[in-house]
Amino acid sequence: MPDENQQPPQAPQPNPERKTLDDRAKMTELERIRHSCAHVMATAILRLWPDAQFAYGPPVENGFYYDMELKHRIAPEDFEKIEAEMKKEIKANNVFERIVVTREQAIAQAQSGRLGGLTDRPGNASKFKLDLLQQIPEGEPISYYKNGDFIDLCAGPHVMRTGNIGAFKLTSVAAAYYKGDEKGPQLQRIYGTAFKNKTALDEYFKMLEEAKRRDHRKIGAEMGLFAIDTEFVGPGMPLWLPKGTVLVEELEKLAKETEFAAGYVRVRTPHLAREKMYKTSGHLPYYAESMFPPIELDLLRGKPDEIAKREALGEEVAFLRSQVLSAAADLVVGDNPLIGDVDLVGNDDEEFQLQKMQTLWEDGTLMAGAGIVGEFVAKQQNWELMQPELYYLKAMNCPHHHRIFAAEPHSYRDLPLRLAEYGTCYRYEQSGELFGLMRVRSMNMNDAHIYCTEDQFADEFRAVNEMYLKYFKIFGLEKYQMRFSTSAPEGLGKKYVNEPELWKKTEDMVRRVLIESGINFVEVANEAAFYGPKIDVQVWSAIGREFTIATNQVDFAVPARFGLQYKDRDNTMKTPLCIHRAPLGTHERFIGFLIEHYAGNFPLWLAPDQVRVITIGAEDDPASAPLIAYAKGIAAELRGQMVRVSTDFSNSPIKGKIQDAEQLRVHTMLVIGGRDMDAGAVSVRLHGKGPQGAKAKGEVVAEILAAIRERRA
């Protein structure tokens, strides 16, 4: 989306980027409570273990944490006494006092151990605070927050007093590297949560208990939906079992029908591409850590003589390169009349100089050094052809779709062009971040890219949002929020494409569409994609748990990198805007969410086991032959309409047959006895809802088919 959802309780979260003062000013009341509770927890820990060295303690999605270095290994058994000290600090109702200091004062107090402590601690300098002080930009105020005896380096904000903290509880302890750097010191991270009152806290833990019952890994195993074979296939790469594949195919069917009606066309792309693809898109080198290592294809493998020739040629190319650069330097300092056209003065970029010299050689205007440049160009081309080729597993579909757009000429009449694909992508998530279907390394994405003009953008973006709302209705998602992420001026040219006017224009367009459409959204600065603003779609499950299921992005930069153009009405060539959208996210994440949302009790259209025909009588009993024939006829009729139907004609007791179907979460059970057969009827039973009474066979079949066709909840 971008995330980006339930993690194992002990799993460390990534260290957040340092928030700006503006970001901090936007903290909600609940975030302030949790931030303040982190300080109170630090106060309590220092009372118990005065040598604790604290790093940072921010509020996070469901609570707060504080990272610390401490000889004593804190365990859950310690939580009770830490919480007891926290309650004392809250009862004291100490003021959270903000104190602005100079950088020199802050450094002095960190060196004395006072910063992040209850008193001066000679010989125990606050080393993490000293390091964090270096990250505060010159000119930004440096402040402490003091509650009781505890003083911490902190920009705030907090609640007024410790007594304003409502109900809290410590939840887990985990290991965490300082700043998330595996080469840095390993710290202890203590997690907790806090709410305005005990009622809200109790409701939260009640929700967590229900979430455990609905855990998609547990239900997935019970229902036989997916497996993760770490030994042979690898971690984070799910295998979809037959029943899980039903869910996959039903979602794809829904997406394909919806996208066809909306004017999308389907495409297919390979699972890997050359390095050049991702360098052009900009994903390399910036996204390299999230991609699998490259596959090296070396045509000279096993040919030592040819490899030796390649190495010798490489040495020649390096020598010729130095000669060309020397010739470029001569052009800059000499009296060559071309110097005014060369544009080399003051430019130390060697690649630029080489390219400029090659251009001058190609157009015949280079006089001095032409021979050496020509030899360099020829030998470098030969050497490059001998190099191993690097291929990468596809981490995203967009570059492939850009190349599909580039494969044919386009005019304004072809736009908008909506390319859709359920594409398989591979991302190298860290092993500690993998979690069931929610964080995986192999994923199938409900992806599409819309190429359009600026004039078409609003209608296309609005249509995408309407598609989201349609899906929310189908899946019974009543609460949602779109998180509109924008750029920040200080990130232009670093974190974001350096196009301030385009950023403003596209952000204004997105904001206008969201407002005009009445979409529930929040705007968050400095969290956009590197090539344009994005929207993360957040939904709440049936038990109130929040998930980010999809991302919607605007791209005004990458199409130009690939040279994508269309001929406009005035016969000029223009670059299209691109909307990246994936309303159903990935199969893995979305199905993981649906398993927990429905607790495995899927609606009829989606259920792997839609119908089971159960007889009060056994197939091996001759007296039941007419009954079995009647039941088989109903099953055949449903199967002929592509209904997933199974049968149980065994001699087991009827209660046992029903219990088996209930345990397997079969949606609809058609229980048939002699009276049903004589009346041309069936007795209907729904999973989790019990008997629905006897109904005419034709009525029941028609109702089943209508519920599937209409995708009723």
**Lowest model confidence (mean pLDDT) among 10-24, 133-147, 158-172:** 10-24
- The tens digit of pLDDT for each residue in 484-510 reads 999 988 888 888 888 888 899 999 999
pTM for this structure?
0.80
- More confident call, 608 vs 383: 608
pLDDT of residue 386: 86
Helices 500-516, 454-474: inter-axial angle, 10-degree rounding? 50
- Domain count for the chain, please give it: 4
Structural domain including 700 reads 611-709
Q: Is 683 within the bounds of a domain?
A: yes
- The tens digit of pLDDT for each residue in 407-434 reads 999 999 999 999 999 999 999 998 878 9
Q: What is the CATH number of the domain that holds 496?
A: 3.30.930.10
What is the chain's Cα-based Rg? 32
Q: Give yes or no: residues 451 and 521 share one domain.
A: yes
Residue 100 burial (C-beta neighbours within 10 Å; 0-12, 13-18, 19+): exposed
The Cα–Cα gap between 404 and 422 comes to: 15
The Cα–Cα gap between 464 and 212 comes to: 33
Task: Let me know: does 272 contact 393? Beta carbons within 8 Å.
Answer: yes
Q: Which of 120-124, 297-301, 487-491 has the highest mean pLDDT?
A: 120-124
- The tens digit of pLDDT for each residue in 642-654 reads 999 999 999 999 9
Q: Give yes or no: residues 507 and 382 share one domain.
A: no
Q: Is 290 within the bounds of a domain?
A: no
Residue 234 burial (C-beta neighbours within 10 Å; 0-12, 13-18, 19+): exposed
Instruction: Please give the average per-residue pLDDT across 206-216, as a whole number.
Output: 92
| CB atoms closer than 10 angstroms to residue 402 | 24
- Rounded to whole angstroms, what are the CA distances from 172 to 52, 193, 643, 662, 670? 18, 10, 46, 36, 47
pLDDT of residue 336: 46
Residue 14: is its pLDDT beyond 50? no
Domain boundary among 159, 191, 211: 211
The Cα–Cα gap between 636 and 644 comes to: 11
The Cα–Cα gap between 453 and 653 comes to: 66
Task: Let me know: does 553 contact 534? Beta carbons within 8 Å.
Answer: yes
Q: Give yes or no: residues 401 and 308 share one domain.
A: no
Pairing between strand 480-485 and 521-524? parallel
Q: Give yes or no: residues 407 and 383 share one domain.
A: no
The Cα–Cα gap between 195 and 348 comes to: 57
Q: H/E element holding 252?
A: helix 242-261
Q: Give yes or no: residues 556 and 449 share one domain.
A: yes
Q: Is 119 within the bounds of a domain?
A: yes
Q: Give yes or no: residues 135 and 185 share one domain.
A: yes
Q: Give yes or no: residues 174 and 51 share one domain.
A: yes
Q: What is the CATH number of the domain that holds 26?
A: 3.30.980.10
Q: Identify how many contiguous H helices and E strands the chain contains and give both numbers.
A: 23, 28
The Cα–Cα gap between 390 and 539 comes to: 39
Pairing between strand 611-615 and 668-672? parallel
The Cα–Cα gap between 353 and 635 comes to: 76
Q: Which residue has the tokens 């939840």?
A: 171
Q: Which residue has the tokens 């469901």?
A: 62
Q: Which of 539, 560, 384 is nearest to 475 (CA)?
A: 539
Q: Give yes or no: residues 380 and 397 share one domain.
A: no
Question: What dihedral do alpha carbons 394, 396, 402, 404 form, nearest 10°?
Answer: 50
Residue 353: is its pLDDT beyond 80? no
Q: Is 449 within the bounds of a domain?
A: yes
Q: Which residue has the tokens 């294809």?
A: 297
Task: Let me know: does 21 contact 554? Beta carbons within 8 Å.
Answer: no
Instruction: Please give the average per-residue pLDDT across 395-418, as a whole number.
Output: 97
At residue 604, what is the residue type?
A: L
Quick check: helix, strand or coil at residue 48?
A: helix
Q: Is 617 within the bounds of a domain?
A: yes
Q: Which residues of 482-505 are buried (b: 16+ CB within 10 A; e: fewer)?
A: bbbbbbbeebeeebbbebeebbee
Instruction: Please give the average per-residue pLDDT across 225-234, as a whole number.
Output: 96
Q: Give yes or no: residues 643 and 539 share one domain.
A: no
pLDDT of residue 570: 95
- The tens digit of pLDDT for each residue in 251-292 reads 999 999 999 999 999 999 999 999 999 999 989 888 899 999
Q: Is 224 within the bounds of a domain?
A: no
- Calculate the average pLDDT of the chain: 90
Q: Where residue 367 falls among pLDDT bands split at 50, 70, 90?
A: low
Q: Give yes or no: residues 593 and 628 share one domain.
A: no
DSSP conformation letters of 135-171: TSPTTS-EEEEEETTEEEE------SBGGG--EEEEE
Q: What is the CATH number of the domain that holds 672?
A: 3.40.50.800
Instruction: Please give the average per-residue pLDDT across 232-239, as a whole number.
Output: 96
CB-based contacts of 83: which residues, under 8 Å, 6+ apart? Answer: 44, 168, 169, 170
Q: Is 159 within the bounds of a domain?
A: yes
Q: Which of 543, 563, 616 is nearest to 213 (CA)?
A: 543
Domain boundary among 163, 183, 211: 211
Residue 16: is its pLDDT beyond 60? no
The Cα–Cα gap between 429 and 589 comes to: 14
Q: Give yes or no: residues 562 and 622 share one domain.
A: no
At residue 139, what is the residue type?
A: G
Q: Give yes or no: residues 696 and 635 share one domain.
A: yes
pLDDT of residue 325: 81
Domain boundary among 184, 211, 238: 211
- The tens digit of pLDDT for each residue in 661-677 reads 999 999 999 999 999 99
Q: Is 324 within the bounds of a domain?
A: yes
**Region of 263 on the Ramachandran plot (φ > 0 left; ψ -120 to 50 alpha; else beta):** left
pLDDT of residue 373: 82
Task: Let me know: does 238 contact 226? Beta carbons within 8 Å.
Answer: yes
Q: List Cβ<8 Å contacts ≥24 apart for 560-564.
A: 561/280, 561/281, 561/282, 562/280, 562/281, 562/399, 562/402, 562/403, 562/405, 562/406, 563/406, 564/402, 564/405, 564/406, 564/451
